Chains A and B, each alone.
Chain A
Amino acid sequence: MSDVTTDTVQLPAAASGASAPRYADAVRYAAPWIAVAVAFAVLPMIFSSGSALTTLSLMGIMIVFALSYNMLLGETGLLSFGHAVYYGLGGFLAIHAMNTVIHDHLPLPLFLIPLVGAFSGLLFGIIFGSVSTRRAGVAFAMISLGLGELVASSSLILRGFFGGEEGVSTNRTKLLHVFGLNFGPQIQVYYLIAFWCLVCMIAMFAIRRTPFGRMCNAVRENAERAQFVGYNPQVVRFMAFALAGLFAGVAGALAAINFELVNSSMVGAEPSGLVLLAAFVGGIGNFIGPVIGAIIVTWLEVTLSDMTDIWQLYFGLLFIGVVMFAPNGIAGLLMMHVPLWRARAYRPLSRLVLTYLIALVPALATLAGLIAVIEMIYHRSVKASDGATISLFHVTLDTTSVVPWIAAIVLLIGGFLLFRRTWPVVGAAWHDAIMYAQGAGKKK
């Protein structure tokens, strides 16, 4: 609730700005977006390898998808287990549109295909949203799950549209070429994704700041009170749902362009779970949270799946850890420190960071022990035929001898016990910093 009030107080100040501050305001609002645009433009020059470019493209897609999901969960308080329906259907309609354009030689450049995704996402958002947004809470979550399963199961039956097991493929270079761009090389696709990602980010940020965005927050906090103010919570939820569908459709179309292939797994439970994970791990309370989450989850997905077969277990453990210990996600943890920074409490802040580093050592030891135990169990139970040894962090472990097991368990339990002993130190440093910041605030 406090978040809503502080923001609404800021709004009139920004809106009522007279002629002189208006220019300054415009710069203040535009500056972060210009920075993001520059970052998007420069990133492929720093990470120029083929695989890095692919990863960056995937991150761009995931950012749009996770932000669209956050319009539901973070902004409106609707927990959806079937958001991939709009992502996947956006992808399918986009790829069918591309094939039609190629087949009929229509004058539509590839660049505008995400609009097809947006339209189909919106369309299905309206259709399914009218059914599911009548209720909030657990009932909504169950309907979204049911609708997700319904579409996922139908995708295996309606082979004409969904292409059966192998899916629908296309060739993005066969569309109309504008400015000599054929979108064959990944770098061109990356810039296409980056452009649409930026557009969607700005659009979603802008929607957040409209009165409609505020009503979404109000419905999330207390639907009954929102109703007393004169807004129908069902309508607000429905609009938020349809808009979230729109942006998910854009993400789906971008994915279709990127992979040139769409299959029925795209509407299934897996992307629905992944987007929930990305948004929540990043933090649903902040606009920046899902962006962080999308970047981290995509990076982990790409790197972890290369390293270990059971990477999804680590995802699940990370998710449970965030749910239990940091319900506001990574962005929430970072944002906790903003008041300290604002109060110029640099000295206690640096001491706090020092205690974090001290706590990090046993935490990493615990993590290493946990990973070693998990990997050795996995190797012993499933992959025993591949030989007795595994290589972990450049160390070769013999899973049949007792020594690595004892070492891993000592790391796990000993690290954890040490980690717990660092907590009072961190807590004390945090307390000092907060006290200092409050004292500084009073002096002003």
Chain B
Amino acid sequence: MLELVTISTLNGVLYGMLLFLMASGLTLIFSMMGVLNFAHASFYMLGAFFGFQISQFVGFWPAFFIAPVLVGGIGALVERYGLRRVHKHGPVAELLFTFGLAFVIVEIVQMIWGKGPADYRVPPSLNFSAFTAFSTNYPAYKMFELLTAIAIFAVLLMLLTRTRIGLIIQASLTHPHMVAMLGHNVPRIFMLVFGVGTGLAAVAGVIAGPALVTQSNMAGSLGPILFVVVVVGGLGSLFGAFLASLLIGLVQTFAVSVNLSIADVLQPLGVAAPSGGALFDIWNVTVAQIAPIIPYLLLVLILIFRPTGLMGTREQ
């Protein structure tokens, strides 16, 4: 039991930190433009595929640095020549633009790398077990992922709160006109934030690719969870996104390891199982089986009882 809790906590925190790497960029972009970037998970996927492709040529470590920069550059170009043009048609058009972009990126990835999984492996230099806890070997690569995510989180926090550029970014989120009047190029700041945000998503992709499966459906399966994170955390709140990332990471990791159904709970109490139909399915479904839908249930519940999210203040 203790083993399960320890390992699940580690995995949950790891998954949560990966989610936060993406959610942080998404939240910054949302605060900036008032638009949720539907294609954010697609940049994560691009990061994984770029990491895979570049590591084929020059090895994992250079790819770890080159891929996010490339993807961030693509993100900045998308902002400059796509989103900025659509901006005048209003927020719905912007959301739809990113929706179409997500669609196109998936198709382009399939066009180049095919539909099957790419052979993106953990680099040999990290392919050993970091420590042994309760007879389970915990892989060093996972520790590397965790440390990378935490390091980036720390750097981002320092950058945003302790440096001049961070101050300007924070100011342009809330008072773009004032910042522009002080002589800063606000559109360029937005482009920078968009590029860095997508670059962060790509970092998550590069480090998650070998651990998970690098495949063209990875954006589609992660994207909706990412939206759950930013909505549950409260749209536009970085700290909320952090809490929600950890929450969803932990909840999902723990749910997968619980093999309990309603039948298991009620059978000892003498309640008979229903004979058939839809109720029978609900009766015998285990918590592990419903793990994929827990985030969405959480989203619906949050939106009913606390529409602004955990830490959100923005009421539209």
A positions within 8 Å CB-CB of B: 73, 77, 79, 81, 131-132, 134-139, 141-143, 145-147, 149-150, 153-154, 157-161, 269, 273, 276, 280, 310, 312-313, 315-317, 319-320, 323-324, 327, 374, 377-378, 381-382
- Whether A323 contacts B93 by the Cβ 8 Å rule is yes
In which size bucket is the chain B interface?
Answer: 35 or more
Q: What is the 8 Å Cβ interface bit string for chain B, positions 180-223, against chain A (1 contact, 0 not)?
A: 00000000000000000000000000000000000000001000
CB < 8 Å neighbour of A320 from B104, B231, B296, B300 = B104
- Whether A381 contacts B300 by the Cβ 8 Å rule is no
Residues of A within 8 A of B166 (CB): none
- Asked if B108 CB lies within 8 Å of chain A CBs, one says yes
- Whether B289 contacts A157 by the Cβ 8 Å rule is yes
- Whether B103 contacts A273 by the Cβ 8 Å rule is yes
- Asked if B316 CB lies within 8 Å of chain A CBs, one says yes
- Whether A150 contacts B285 by the Cβ 8 Å rule is no
- Which residues of B, 131-164, contact A by the 8 Å Cβ criterion? none
Residues of B within 8 A of A313 (CB): 104, 107-108, 111
- Asked if B70 CB lies within 8 Å of chain A CBs, one says no
- Whether A315 contacts B103 by the Cβ 8 Å rule is yes
Bound-state CA distance A137–B299 (Å) is 16
- Whether A146 contacts B224 by the Cβ 8 Å rule is yes
Residues of B within 8 A of A153 (CB): 292-293, 296
B positions within 8 Å CB-CB of A: 34-36, 82, 85-86, 89, 91-93, 95-97, 99-101, 103-104, 107-108, 110-114, 220, 224, 227-228, 231, 235, 276-278, 280-282, 285, 289-290, 292-293, 296-297, 299-300, 303-304, 307, 316
- Whether B107 contacts A316 by the Cβ 8 Å rule is yes
The 4 closest A-B pairs by CB, nearest first: A313-B107, A316-B104, A316-B103, A150-B296
- Whether B103 contacts A319 by the Cβ 8 Å rule is yes
Residues of A within 8 A of B304 (CB): 131
- Whether A159 contacts B281 by the Cβ 8 Å rule is yes
Residues of B within 8 A of A147 (CB): 296, 300
- Whether A141 contacts B95 by the Cβ 8 Å rule is yes
- Whether B95 contacts A312 by the Cβ 8 Å rule is no
- Whether A161 contacts B307 by the Cβ 8 Å rule is no
- Whether B86 contacts A143 by the Cβ 8 Å rule is no
The verdict on A157 contacting B111 (CB below 8 Å), with A79-B92, A149-B224 known, is no
Interface centre among B92, B97, B100, B113 (most CB of A within 10 A): B100
Residues of B within 8 A of A134 (CB): 303, 307
The verdict on A324 contacting B95 (CB below 8 Å), with A139-B307, A374-B111 known, is no
Determine chain A's interface SS by DSSP, over half rule. helix
The verdict on A150 contacting B104 (CB below 8 Å), with A79-B95, A136-B316 known, is no
Q: Which residue of chain B is the closest to A78 with respect to CB atoms?
A: B92
The verdict on A150 contacting B297 (CB below 8 Å), with A137-B316, A138-B316, A381-B114 known, is yes
Beyond A150-B293, A320-B100, A381-B114, list 10 extra A-B contacts (CB 8 Å): A141-B36, A147-B300, A158-B285, A273-B99, A313-B107, A313-B111, A316-B107, A323-B96, A323-B100, A327-B93
Residues of B within 8 A of A73 (CB): 92
Bound-state CA distance A160–B304 (Å) is 29
Bound-state CA distance A324–B96 (Å) is 10
Q: In the assembled complex, how far is the CB of residue A47 from the closest CB belonging to chain B, in whole angstroms?
A: 30
Bound-state CA distance A134–B303 (Å) is 9
- Whether A157 contacts B296 by the Cβ 8 Å rule is no
Residues of B within 8 A of A145 (CB): 224, 227
Q: In the assembled complex, how far is the CB of residue B71 from the closest CB belonging to chain A, in whole angstroms?
A: 19
